[in-house]
Structure 1
Amino acid sequence: MSLPVADAPEVRRATWRLIRADRRAMALVLLLNGLAALAGLVAPWLVGRIVDQVGAGTATVSTVDTLALAIVGCAVAQVLLTRFARNAGHRLGERTLARLREDFVDETLSLPAPVVERTGTGDLMARGSADVAIVGVTLRDAAPTLFISSVQLTFVFAALFVLDPLFGVCAMVGLPLVAAISRWYLRRARDAYLHEGQTLSEMADSLVETAEGARTVEAFGLQSRQIAAADARVRRAYTARRRTLFLRSVFYPVVDFVYALPAAVLLLAGGVFVANDLVTLGAAVSAVLYAWQLTEPMDFILDWLDQLQRSGASFARLKGVAKAVPDRAPSAEVPVDDRLVVSGVRYAYGSGEDVLHGVDLSVRPGERLALVGPSGAGKSTLGRLLAGLAAPGAGSVTVGGVPVAELAPEVLRERVVLVTQEHHVFLGTIRDNLTIAAPDASDSRLLAALDVVDAGWVRALPSGLDTRDLRLDAPRAQQLALARVVLADPHTVVLDEATALLDPRTARNVERAVAAVLEGRTVVAIAHRLHTAHDADRIAVVDGGRITELGPHDVLVAAGGTYSALWHSWHGDR
């Protein structure tokens, strides 16, 4: 499954929002480009004046020298103005690209966890790398160049019509052909580039899943199957790339022919007009010079048109991420307390069957609740609903009377935090990894949190908290993740097998430390290690998407039900 792609109207609206975000810079770019284009129009007109005066015998050395100096001055002015215009355009492009990257990160972080899990990381990785790079090229290079070229082209055509309407008409002889080939190309290019981007995402997905599951692939001898799947995706990407190359191979030859057409027509027509005294020789010379000035901006525009299509497709993929973000405003209600209540909850992943079936559960503030049961019973799904990472398909999950999934992110972090066995150590220092949870925490508080989770090894590092880009094994990485929980100090913590990758002794110590720090707060622990359940106030047995047993350890063991069987089996009594 892939993330959505924004349609053309959405892309136009997003583009307009980016433009409006830096209006002053855009106005400056417009002004500089306009002045540069005007400066470029003066020289051909002055050359025409020189030709006419020489032809009429009224030119003097002083007059020619003055006009020649004016031509040089205009050329220098055009170079300087163009340089400043390009610089302003590039700076505008970089700022716009920075905003686009920030928006993409915000939208990505706002994606519901189930959406990310269904789509995989490959699609996001391709959009965040290849698509951003393509849009970046457009914003840095293509957009300023196209803007300058468009202004120059407009002014040159205007100058030709002002010089003589006949010259303007002749200069436009290639436009119908340009319009026809551009229409043919544009009708096909966007879809072709979107398909190409999709095949790149599929290749990235294949790479990521093979790398992450390398040990499984080797253990089960799946190398041939993975290679065959990767080859198939490479072939699809190759076919998609050939399609876009074909479009360019048709478009560019026609464009190259159009470049020379206006100048050739104006040379022929100018000679006819001068011979019939319709225009002066100087006007004809100016017209031909203006025609040659059409070549460069038209070349840039048509040459970058392909980049615009690539960029438009990439921009649509980037803005499409926002379509997967739930379109709902955070609840303005404030939870009255920290009581978690699950009422009649049903939940299914995508369009699949329900994995939870009418679950009812109430977790008291300060209670330690353990969720146990066989794999696939729905424990982790219930934990995610409690943490607000997903909304139930039916029923409700509330904290203090407010739906957990509708809480604003900053309010949710103060209420519920989920810690899973999937941990991550971010690039940067140990301090950077910890202050994610508490940006203003002092060193003493950071070290205290590390001591709580038995991570005293940080003190022994050469640079301590400032140790950078450290490669940590799974147990130590999980200790950092748990230390972040201690620093965040939420009212409720959902531990989804959070100590599964720690050795039993370390896991036991960490669980005791976390329990001591979170005394008076709610802890929901999901684990297969039943000693966690033994220490809990209550135990909920989840089986087949339902809570089949609920009560303290001793009561459930004495009841002789599912939990009792699990407990005795774990202890080797049966």
Structure 2
Amino acid sequence: MSGRALALLRTLLAPHRGRVLAAVALALATTGAGLVPPALVGQAVDAGVLPGAPRAVLAAALGIAAAVMVAALARWALTRLAARLGEAVLAALRERVFTNVLRLPLAFHERSRTGGLVSRLTADVEAVGEVARNGAVETVVALLQLVLVVGVLVALSPPLAALLLLAGPPVWWLARWFQRRIGPAYRRYRDRVAETSARLQDGFAGEAELAASGARERQLRRTRSASRAERRTIAYGYALENRFFPGLELAELALVALVLVAGLVLGGVELVSVGVVAAFVLYLRDLFGPVEELSFWLDELQSAGAALDALAGLLAVPQPTAPDTGQRLPTRGGLALEGVRFAYGQGQDEIDGVDLTVAPGERLALVGPSGAGKTTLARLMARLLVPRAGTVRYGRVDLADVPPATVRERIVLAPQDGHLVSGTVADNLRLVAPEAEDATLEAALAGLGLGSRLPLARGVGPGGAWLSAGERQLLALARLALLDPAVVILDEATGALDAATEADVDVLLQRLLAGRTVIVIAHRLASAWRCDRVAVVEAGRIVEIGPPVTLAAGNGRFAELQRLARPA
């Protein structure tokens, strides 16, 4: 397990020190009680069976029964405590990783594949969960039993215990051989699972487009290739186990045979008794039992370690920080971009030295061909992306000096497809107003004339599947009304609606935008004519800006786009 995974584990266990100590105490009780029966069997043989003393046998039997009962009760309490502790740690881990991922900058999510992130939060957390629920307890008990049994064997018969030196090196070599290979194998397996999950996610998300473009077979081949790579990786892990476990069984049987032969020889010279040999053989079972148990959980521990390391890697991704200088954003203001540059990763600049000023209450349209940088520029204005050079100001305040939550109070980007979650209309409205009472939400809907069309208790389905396209956009506009921002950056949201629904949405939208500063990412030139000015974006630069009437009358790029948009 890596250093960062161990550090994460310590952090998760820190709030539960009392439970951890109680679990260790119960593990000691379980192990200690389990060591009593073999000793009593040896005593019964020497003091009861051989001399024919039934009372000694009965006393040993009662002692064994009492020890078994104590071990069972301690094990029950340990399992119960460990389950609660494991679930608490898992919940904290899942929530911590999910919270951290959601707070990461937009650029991280655009670089990452959704399927891979989902796999981290499902398959990897579940791998850790299996160990947290069961493996941790079994491992601790097995380690304690291993140490205590060796001590008991040495105390019981040093000559017989010396035989452990013969079995020790082969078992140690076998365990090391297995460990060096199973860890990397399971790390590769986790990566393959994430890759397969990403391929499946890509296929499900783009099924309609894949069908329309005839690319289904190509996507199937890619998914099948990822699945086969995953299968080969896990098959290699199983092959390692199939070599390791039989080898361990062979070592145990060989040692038992040596002990019996040595016991026969030593018994002949009265160095050991029959009862000691019997107890020693039983303790060997208790010795190799933990070794087998540890070996059984070793691959799970390695897998959980790899999964925890991957989750720790997500937690290690630096969060965006903005020093709180105490500056507050004014309730009304414009936007100003000065020398703004931005690139995804280490690539070429997507936004190349943009200077732009949007006055308070002004409406500006961003137009240009696909891939020109309109959406990236809009995200920079909303501080969803951080420029690598230059500044973005609102009301003369540099947004880099203001916490992101404060920026969201004034500047909101409304995407083309508003994201809806499974639940009700109220659940989706509370995404932006978590403390709002039902009365507040109902008033917001009523103010937009949506009270009867979108009642709070109405279910929306996964991703808003139970709503029409128009209703999804109306609900997104209701959320915008609850936010009440000073600046709205609108990714044109009416392109997929029929004419009647588009008209309804447009009336509501114009009512919402009244008096606000508005930047529209105009995918249709008709939308640009409703704005005070138009900025033409090409190759990450603003190549032309001005009132739409003036630009259309000239010979620039906007006029050319107008001519190209006219039907032949």
Structure 1 residue aligned with 2:292: 299
Partner of 1:25: 19
Letter in 2 for 1:213: G
Distance 1:342 1:468 in 2: 38
Name 1:3's counterpart in structure 2. none
Q: How does 1:463-478 map to 2 (within 5 A)?
A: 464-467=456-459, 469=461, 471-478=466-473
Amino acid at match of 2:534: I
Given the two structures, how large is their TM-score scaled by the length of structure 2?
Answer: 0.90
Letter of the 2:318 partner, please give it.
Answer: P
Which runs of structure 2 are paired with 1:470-549 in the superposition (5 Å)?
A: 471-549=466-544
Other-structure match for 1:14: 8
1:53 aligns with 2:47: yes
Answering whether residue 90 of structure 2 is matched by residue 97 of structure 1, we say: yes
Shift of 1:412: 3.3
What is the CA–CA distance in structure 2 between the aligned matches of 1:358 and 1:52, rounded to whole Å? Answer: 92
Aligned counterparts of 2:358 and 2:340: Cα–Cα separation in 1: 15
CA contact (8 A) 1:171 1:266 kept: no
Structure 1 403/190 Cα, relative in aligned 2: closer, same or farther at 3 Å? farther
Helix, strand or coil for the counterpart of 1:210? helix
- Match for residue 77 of structure 1 among 70, 76, 88: 70
Offset at residue 564 of structure 1 (A): 3.9
- TM-score normalised by length of structure 1: 0.89
Q: Does 1:330 align with 2:316?
A: no
Structure 1 unaligned spans of 5+: 1-6
Identity fraction in percent: 36
Deviation at residue 442 of structure 1 after TM alignment: 2.8
Cα RMSD (Å)? 2.8
Q: Which runs of 5+ in 2 are unaligned?
A: none
Q: 1:276 to 1:453 in 2, by over 3 A?
A: farther
Mapped partners of 1:261, 1:414: distance in 2:
74
- Distance verdict in 2 for CA 1:9–1:425, change over 3 Å: same
The 8 Å contact of residues 359 and 547 in structure 1, kept in 2 or not, is answered as: yes
Distance in 2 between residues matched to 1:238 and 1:64, nearest whole Å:
55
Structure 2 counterpart of 1:287, one-letter code: F
**Separation (CA, whole Å) in 2 of partners of 1:155 and 1:180:** 22
Separation in structure 2 between the aligned mates of residue 349 and residue 185 of structure 1, nearest angstrom = 42
Mark the CA change 1:45 to 1:18 in structure 2 (over 3 Å): closer, same or farther.
Answer: same
- Is the Cα contact below 8 Å between 1:104 and 1:318 reproduced in 2? yes
| Structure 1 position 63, deviation (Å) | 5.0
Q: Is the 8 A contact 1:493 1:524 kept in 2?
A: yes
* 2:158 aligned residue: 165
The partner residue of 1:427 within 422, 443, 457 is: 422
Q: Helix, strand or coil: the match of 2:35? A: helix
What is the SS of the residue equivalent to 2:163? helix
The whole-number CA distance in structure 2 between the counterparts of 1:97 and 1:54 is: 51
How far apart, CA to CA, are the structure 1 residues paired with 2:171 and 2:383?
55
CA-CA distance at 1:508 after TM superposition = 4.5
Equivalent of residue 416 in structure 1, options 395, 411, 418: 411
Whether the 8 Å contact between 1:192 and 1:240 is mirrored in structure 2 is: yes
2:216 to 209, 223, 233: 223
1:345 and 2:344 aligned: no
Instruction: State how 1:109-508 maps to structure 2 within 5 Å.
Output: 109-171=102-164, 173-323=166-316, 325-333=317-325, 334-337=327-330, 338-399=333-394, 404=399, 407-451=402-446, 455-456=450-451, 458-459=453-454, 464-467=456-459, 469=461, 471-508=466-503
Residue 38 of structure 2 is aligned to residue 40 of structure 1: no
Counterpart secondary structure, 2:350: strand
Q: How many residues align?
A: 562
CA shift, 1:424, in A, is 2.7
SS class of match (1:22): helix
Residues 115 and 197, structure 2, Cα contact 8 Å, conserved in 1: yes
Contact 2:365 2:528 in 1 (8 A): yes
Give yes or no for contact 2:23–2:81 (8 Å, CA) kept in 1: yes
SS in 2 for 1:343: strand
Contact 1:378/1:544 (<8 A) preserved = yes
For residues 43-90 of structure 1, the C-alpha deviation after alignment (integer angstroms, 9 at most, x for no partner) is: 222333333434896x96555434432221111101111111111112
Q: CA deviation at 1:560?
A: 4.9
2: CA distance, partners of 1:169 / 1:381: 72
- SS of the residue corresponding to residue 544 of structure 2 reads strand
In 2: Cα distance, 1:238 partner to 1:62 partner:
60
Check whether the contact 2:328–2:402 (CA below 8 A) recurs between aligned residues. no
Aligned partners of 2:534, 2:372: CA distance in 1, in Å? Answer: 15
Matches of 1:248 and 1:402, distance apart in 2: 62
